[in-house]
Amino acid sequence: MTLNVVELFSSIEGEGSRQGFPCSFLRLYDCNIRCSYCDTTYSYDGAPHESMTLEEVAHALRQMGHRYITITGGEPLLQAPAVVALIKMLSAEGSYEFNIETNGTLLPPLITDNVFYTYDYKCPSSLVEDMMNLDVFQHMTSRDVLKFVVGSIDDLYTMRDIIATYHPIASVFVSPVFGAIEPKTIVEFLLEHKLDDVKVQLQIHKFIWDPSATGV
């Protein structure tokens, strides 16, 4: 069994519930949607990638030596059988904790105590909201993260309505499309609408490194 890999690197978690912690990253190739503001266009449409065996990927992650591992893309669940096999392989060896960053179109293939999902609900400015799989709300756990990346006021109202409709059990985060909306606007919206269970986040890796840098 193999995985199509774009990047393997060590950095810090730039967002979400583990923001700021050292982490190993596995970025997988290909995506089934095309968000208008995508910042990882180098992960699909024929971009350079390598087919690696599970043991090769596992060895690289072991060498990095971090307990936290984030599997991202593209859309990593397009390679779900191999992702699950990799997690089971590494879980049998040590106390790794996995974050799978997914775009909200596919259901989670593995629910265990050492795996959580970061679901990225796509708001209207993404131009792909109609591809969201609303069944994911039934599969979320309290370990998971529901992330809204917003680029407009309309996106913020969509976030508010989704939360009110589905009452997600996951932790809810909101962040701006980089350069498209002022973080202050998001804060003011949360305060005005009493969204006390939503946490504002900024992608700190884009402030530490160049926003367009890869492998960070």
The annotation places the binding site at: 12-14, 27, 31, 35, 37-40, 72, 74
Binding site listing for S-adenosyl-L-methionine: 37-39, 74
- Which residues are annotated binding-site positions for [4Fe-4S] cluster? 31, 35, 38
Strands of the chain, DSSP E: 2-12, 22-28, 50-53, 68-72, 97-102, 115-122, 145-150, 171-176, 198-200
Q: Residue 113: exposed, middle, or buried by beta-carbon count in 10 A (0-12, 13-18, 19+)?
A: exposed
Point out the annotated binding site for Mg(2+).
Answer: 40
CB 50 within 8 A of CB 57: no
Residue 74: cis peptide before it, omega within 30 degrees of 0: yes
Binding-site positions for substrate:
12-14, 27, 72
How many beta carbons lie within 10 A of that of residue 114, not counting itself?
A: 15
Phi and psi torsions of 89, nearest 5°: -60, -50
